[in-house]
Amino acid sequence: MDKIKVALIGQPNVGKSTLFNILAGDSVIVTNWPGTTVEKHEGRRKHREVEIQIVDLPGAYGLTYSTIEEKISRDYILREKPDTIVVIVDSLSIERTMYLAIEILELTGRVVLALSKIDRTHSEGIHINYNLLEKSLGTPVIPISAIRKYGIDILLDKVVETAKKSVSKTLHIDYGELEDYIARISEEISGLQAYIGVPLRWLVVKFLEGDQEIHHLIESISSDLYRKLVEIKREAENRLNSNLQLYISSRRYKYLEELTEATISRTSISRRGQDRLLKLLYNPILAPLTSLSILFIVFTCIFIVNTGYPLTSFFIFLGYDNIAEIIEKSSLNGLLSELFNWISEYVYEVIGESTLSKFLVEGVVGSLFALLVFIPLLVIVFTVLGVIEDSGIAPRLAIGLHVFFQKVGLSGHSVFPITLSMGCNVPGIVATRSVLTAIERSRLMLLIPFIPCQARLVVLLAIASSIGGVIGSLLIPMVYIISLLLVITLSYFIYLYDRRRTSGPSLELLLELPPLHRPVPRVIWWFTWFHLKHFLVKAGTIIITANIIAWLVTHITPGFVITDIISESIGFELSSYISPILRPLGIEGYSAIIISFALIMGFIAKEVFLTSLVAVTGFATPHEAIKSLGLSQPSVLALAIFITLYIPCVATLATIHSESKSIKTTLLTLILNIIIAYIMAVIIYNVTLLVL
Amino acid sequence: MLTNPSKILTLDSVKTGKKVAVKDFAIHEWAGLISRLAYMGILPGTEIEVVLNENRGPLVIRVRGVEVSMSRGIAKKILVEELE
């Protein structure tokens, strides 16, 4: 069987990923491009006895050497020399998205153009003369609709055909006044071209554009030659009195304009519905309100479906405790815990209650469930994220909010991750993918663990009810306000620090907005499934492992005997060594040991802080357990702050690691959290001591 | 196209709904920005329609059939001329 190597390339938003998924299906492997954090997607497809290896190159606007995505794409094309390159062009905006195709055609003739989204051209009033386009470019032009799987076979036929071509012709663009200089430089470096292995003309034009890689290359080969060429370039610049890169890009666009005028006709159609929606999204007052309302409603629904909260609190508040209970039981979490109880009862019946069965049930199955609990939450979140992104609403919402966030060094894109984090940090961290720059993404990931999540709210509620009174009711708002102020301040300082280190505008925005359209279910499904799989594999292993270790540590004594009594376990013993750090918070003695233990357990999940207290003190409810510790009010307040800020739960930490792929970031987060939490707790303790 | 020779302004001061043509860039330090703009199709001579300009926050423009959002900092460096 023949084997060929094919690369997919295209500008952002043209539908490249959709096509890639249609072509490669289940065979997709995701790794990283060597030495980068950019994901590499590869797959395979068999087409009429030919095995096609497909690589999805990162979205790039052109072939300069400036962004990491362009570097990767260009390096791949030049070094790996794929048999065919499929350049995807968006039929709805050919005048812009074909620019990349033109650059690539100047480099190689082994190209097939795929015009995507063809199913929508008709409703947009666009008519394309494919034959003329094909003839003018000298390259096969295939209209496709990845979503409707239209044109795929023909595309693959052409891809195989092109791979087997022996000779390929490149596109020749007329560079007007530069042609003389191109000729002169070509003469000087004609020997070099064979050495580098690219078309001579392409090399020369890139040199005139000021391409970094080409300049370094030539200089390293012969500095005399290099100097000569730089002289010619300078002459050209003076003669044209213009930035050469601009001139060259303009010539390419001129070619493109003439091409599209000849091959594309547009009839105007009514866009009134869309324009009205746009007006809403762009209105400076309505936009932020709309964004926040959408986000608020969505997240409330998510959390109600998941645990019943806050609907349950609402009913409890009204006095309808029984309704609240029903809601909680039928929520996803409620159902999952029923399932867990059923399984544990079954196992105990069959195997009997022994250490092994306990380990199996509580340790292994329990850990598995700790992971499963996240799935419904994440599925809903990813689906909503997918809808907002695919429809084109997301970037427009971000614009409305950009101004507010810019002041503290974040862009409007961070609103989604931040709001999500108030429910649960895990999806919040995953959502940072929608943020544009890597710098901002790392910054957000450092900040998110400081945002109080639903689990922490539960802990705070227990603490608040143990104090009661005015202070008790003020506790929660106070903690939230302090946390959010902390996030804003930290963000601002990290922003200043980053700005001092890097040059060039860091928060400048230049972003293409995909056209608004009805989201496509299949695309959203892929998106959701892809991210869920990613989470389960990467973060999942860590979460399960941590839970198992936690179970072991709380069920084995220092003498390595299995025990049921928690206060005899290694874990508890460890806490007695740690408990002295609570002294500056006014917590000492046995209470300190119990609390340290609960804090360590809180690493697993913040609610486990409460369940540990209950398990050790023997009281039935968390707030009774807290009361039994006899802490002073300043201590309780300091503790509340500490618990809110001290460390992200293991799920969050695992997600940070799998998303940032950097141990450094993960450790930094951990350390930063602990230090700041401790400092804040000590401050709060002393301040309240003075005040109360 | 050149209606009034002295009517050259920066993109960030163009009102919503107006169409302009790019004259030049006032970018000296950040050369990478020029190529980014070029790749968006924003070059001298290119026609731009300002879809949204609220005098604070990013602008939204339409260029070559595509909507692009651009921060004010960048818009300040693009010299344009109004089209009638």
> Best mutation site among B16, B67, B79 for testing chain A: the one with the most A CBs within 10 Å?
B67
pLDDT (0 to 100) of residue A259: 92
pLDDT (0 to 100) of residue A258: 92
Q: Do B73 and A508 make contact, defined as CB atoms within 8 angstroms?
A: yes
Tally of residues, chain A: 692
Q: What is the CA radius of gyration of chain B?
A: 12
Given a cut of 90, whether residue A105 has pLDDT beyond it is yes
A96: chain B residues, CB-CB within 8 Å:
40-41, 63-66
String of DSSP letters for A488-521 = HHHHHHHHHHHHHHS-S-SS--EEEEPPP-PPPH
> Best mutation site among B53, B64, B76 for testing chain A: the one with the most A CBs within 10 Å?
B64
* Among candidate residues A596, A332, A633, A363, the one with its CA nearest the CA of residue A472: A633
This prediction's pTM: 0.71
pLDDT band at A504 (very low <50, low <70, confident <90, very high): very low
Rounded to the nearest angstrom, the minimum Cα separation between A70 and chain B is 12
User: Taking CB atoms and an 8 Å cut-off, how many pairs form between chains A and B?
Assistant: 108
* Among candidate residues A25, A24, A32, A26, the one with its CA nearest the CA of residue A6: A24
Given a cut of 90, whether residue A437 has pLDDT beyond it is no
pLDDT (0 to 100) of residue A43: 93
Residues A3-29 have a mean pLDDT of: 88
pLDDT (0 to 100) of residue A347: 80
To the nearest whole percent, how much of chain A has pLDDT over 70? 91
Rounded to the nearest angstrom, the minimum Cα separation between A396 and chain B is 9
Chain B residues interacting with chain A (CB cutoff of 8 angstroms): 25, 29-41, 43-46, 51-52, 54, 56-58, 60, 63-71, 73-74
Q: What is the Cα–Cα distance from A179 to A187, expressed in whole angstroms?
A: 12
Q: Which of A143-157, A291-305, A367-381, A473-487 has the highest mean pLDDT?
A: A143-157
A16 or A433: which carries more pLDDT confidence? A16
**DSSP collapsed to 3 states, A186-213:** HHHCHHHHHHHCCCHHHHHHHHHHCCHH
Q: Across-strand partners of A18?
A: none
Q: Do B38 and A246 make contact, defined as CB atoms within 8 angstroms?
A: yes
A20 or A586: which carries more pLDDT confidence? A20
Q: Are A681 and A585 in contact (CB under 8 A)?
A: yes
Q: Report pLDDT digits (tens) over A201-249.
A: 888 999 998 888 888 888 888 888 899 889 999 999 898 888 888 889 8
Given a cut of 60, whether residue A51 has pLDDT beyond it is yes
Nearest CA in chain A to B37: A510
Tally of residues, chain B: 84
Given a cut of 50, whether residue A505 has pLDDT beyond it is no
Given a cut of 70, whether residue A506 has pLDDT beyond it is no
pLDDT (0 to 100) of residue A22: 87
Token reading at A301: 């629904």
A65 or A593: which carries more pLDDT confidence? A593
Token reading at B27: 């970018």
Q: What is the CA radius of gyration of chain A?
A: 30
Q: What is the Cα–Cα distance from B35 to B41, expressed in whole angstroms?
A: 10
Given a cut of 70, whether residue B16 has pLDDT beyond it is yes
Collapsing DSSP to helix, strand or coil, A62 comes out as coil
pLDDT (0 to 100) of residue A9: 95
Q: Which of A484-488, A509-513, A618-622 has the highest mean pLDDT?
A: A484-488
Collapsing DSSP to helix, strand or coil, A202 comes out as helix
Token reading at A286: 């309505």
Q: Which of A78-87, A119-128, A277-286 has the highest mean pLDDT?
A: A78-87
Q: Do B60 and A399 make contact, defined as CB atoms within 8 angstroms?
A: yes
B38: chain A residues, CB-CB within 8 Å:
62, 245-246, 249
Q: What is the Cα–Cα distance from A319 to A278, expressed in whole angstroms?
A: 44
